[in-house]
Amino acid sequence: MHVFAFLRCAILTSLVGLFSSSALAQTPALSAAQQREILQTLAEQVAEVYVFPDSVAQVQTFLREREASGAYADVTAPEAFGRHVTEDLRAFTRDNHFAVQYNPAQYQQMETMFSAMEEGDRAGLPRAFQIDPASPMAQQFRSANYFFRVAEVLEGNVGYLKIDQMPPLDLAQPTVDAAMAFLANTEAMILDLRGTPGGIGGFIPYLMSYFFPSEPMLLYTRDFGAADSMASFYTHDTIGGPRRPEVPLFVLADRFTGSAAENLAYTVQQHGRATIVGGVTAGAAHSARRGLLAHGFVANIPMARVVHPVSQTNWERVGVQPDVAVDPTDALTMAHRLALDALVAEAHDPQQRHRLERVRAQIEEADGPAPDAEAVVALEAYVGNYGIRRVFIEGGVLMLQREGGLPLPLRRTEGERFQISLPPGMRAANSLPDVLFRRDAGGAVTGFAFVRADGSIEEEIARDR
């Protein structure tokens, strides 16, 4: 039997993109004997680690019957054989963590790594997997910036972090610490996991530790069915930056959010620590181990299921359900608005509250429907010159422009009062006043006043006659 040497990974696509072979155009056809050897090795490895021991015999029988029936007799191309076996296994078990793939380049790299391991590290429960920083595998992760795609401060001082996949912690820890340090002064956080298929599960507790108190806290457990063992995962005692257990946290998700990424979303949701915004996730709650089969084939086999201490279950097949369900393409805008709502509710300083409300109004205006014709006509009453300033309509929006300055949109808040909006990316040194238009007894606009957040008048400006 081939050495059962596995690299933990949460979903096939988490590592396939790094190690896919580009030299698959002319691959030798598989013989019936080779197919049988691959399937036999797969069946043996299913018996060793499959998450549901009571179902092992059924899976093995299924594989034998498929091979004996000649289901793969005409599937001699290695890539097609791997796809067919994968599709069959997933349909039979309803578990998308099963995968068989022809990838000789990855097979060779993994074989080299595992040959250097101690025998005790090749079987049983997974141990912490260390990747040689000088290895080609490590270089692949570095070239992908450990899948950290965007770290940005949005309007209203809301932090935004986009992670494409969950990287190995031993390599990526300095990067996550740097990203969290950059966002440490933000007042709310948005973690974008849309399109994140999974990755290395050991990364999750470390990142989550930034959002929980310093006291050790059980995040989740993994039930290794074949080994009749449980592994518990806690927040880390030490992290590379300040913890932020109170910062409002929002996680974006969609149907392509899978496995380890789902684990993060589900865990913080069930602990009441975050609001999930977007769509239902993929529903892949099992951890898998990556192993060598034969003849250049590697396999993913589900080995453990997550159990959350609050729900006592997980999201397998049903997905993580969003707290705020919106089209995933609108999830960032919605989460940004929700973050600003949370900050407005917590703001005690009137100037800060006014600033946050202004930012939220800008987002709503940018995302809202086009103004109706009747509303635009009503704005014409304000059009005119006001000393060194002029008020005009552009694209259905009332604009205020100081001589030589930028035109700034005005958004009605109530009655004759309007908020001044700034262009995206621009910030004022001080809180901007509102514009309160004045009318005479006949209803004609005679001027406007700049009004501070506390209601006091900053300046009165008459309209030119």
C-alpha–C-alpha distance, residues 430 and 381, integer Å: 29
Q: Give start and end residues of each alpha helix (H) in 229-369.
A: 260-270, 331-346, 350-367
Structure confidence at residue 202 (pLDDT): 84
Domain assignment of residue 446, yes or no: yes
Is there a single domain that holds both residue 159 and residue 237?
yes
C-alpha–C-alpha distance, residues 392 and 330, integer Å: 31
Structure confidence at residue 133 (pLDDT): 87
Domain assignment of residue 23, yes or no: yes
Is there a single domain that holds both residue 265 and residue 388?
no
Q: Helix/strand/coil (H, E, C) string of 72-87?
A: CCCCCCHHHHHHHHHH
What are 205's two structure tokens? 């507790």
C-alpha–C-alpha distance, residues 430 and 428, integer Å: 5
Is there a single domain that holds both residue 325 and residue 437?
no
Domain termination residue (choose one: 121, 156, 185): 121
Domain assignment of residue 94, yes or no: yes
**Contact by Cβ (8 Å): 435, 400:** yes
Domain termination residue (choose one: 121, 148, 182): 121
The number of distinct structural domains making up the chain is 3
Is there a single domain that holds both residue 323 and residue 194?
yes
Domain assignment of residue 229, yes or no: yes
What are 30's two structure tokens? 């598989």
Tens digits of pLDDT across the chain (465 residues): 333 333 334 333 344 344 444 344 456 899 999 999 999 999 999 998 898 999 999 999 999 999 999 999 999 999 989 999 999 999 999 888 899 999 898 888 777 776 665 444 444 334 445 678 888 888 989 999 999 999 999 999 999 999 999 999 999 999 999 999 999 999 999 999 999 988 887 899 999 999 999 999 999 998 888 777 888 999 999 999 999 999 999 999 998 898 899 999 999 999 999 999 999 998 988 888 888 998 999 999 999 889 999 999 999 889 999 999 999 989 999 999 999 999 999 988 888 888 888 888 878 776 656 567 788 889 999 999 999 999 999 878 899 998 877 888 898 888 999 998 876 556 665 678 999 999 999 999 999 999 988 889 989 999 998
CATH number of the domain at 393, please: 2.40.128.50
C-alpha–C-alpha distance, residues 29 and 350, integer Å: 73
Q: What pTM was estimated for this model as a whole?
A: 0.71
Name residue 446's amino acid: T
What are 78's two structure tokens? 């290695």
Structure confidence at residue 15 (pLDDT): 42
C-alpha–C-alpha distance, residues 100 and 42, integer Å: 9
Is there a single domain that holds both residue 199 and residue 334?
yes
C-alpha–C-alpha distance, residues 167 and 60, integer Å: 32
Structure confidence at residue 97 (pLDDT): 85
**Unique residue bearing structure tokens 């290395």:** 200
Is there a single domain that holds both residue 54 and residue 191?
no
**Contact by Cβ (8 Å): 194, 257:** yes
C-alpha–C-alpha distance, residues 96 and 12, integer Å: 9
Q: What is the CA radius of gyration of the chain?
A: 29
Q: Which domain holds residue 188?
A: 136-285+304-345
C-alpha–C-alpha distance, residues 443 and 362, integer Å: 29
Is there a single domain that holds both residue 178 and residue 317?
yes
Q: How many CB atoms lie within 10 A of CB 295?
A: 17
Is there a single domain that holds both residue 325 and residue 411?
no
Domain assignment of residue 131, yes or no: no
CATH number of the domain at 279, please: 3.90.226.10
**Contact by Cβ (8 Å): 293, 2:** yes
Is there a single domain that holds both residue 117 and residue 153?
no
φ/ψ of residue 249, rounded to 5: -125, 130
Domain assignment of residue 150, yes or no: yes
Structure confidence at residue 428 (pLDDT): 60
Is there a single domain that holds both residue 158 and residue 234?
yes
Tell me the three state secondary structure of residue 165.
coil
Structure confidence at residue 310 (pLDDT): 94
* Among 236, 249, 162, 241, CA closest to 204: 236
**Contact by Cβ (8 Å): 94, 318:** no
Is there a single domain that holds both residue 145 and residue 109?
no
Domain assignment of residue 330, yes or no: yes
Structure confidence at residue 116 (pLDDT): 63
Please classify residue 452 by burial: count the beta carbons closer than 10 Å to its beta carbon, then call 0-12 exposed, 13-18 middle and 19+ buried.
middle
**Contact by Cβ (8 Å): 198, 259:** yes
Domain assignment of residue 441, yes or no: yes
Domain termination residue (choose one: 121, 145, 180): 121
Is there a single domain that holds both residue 106 and residue 140?
no
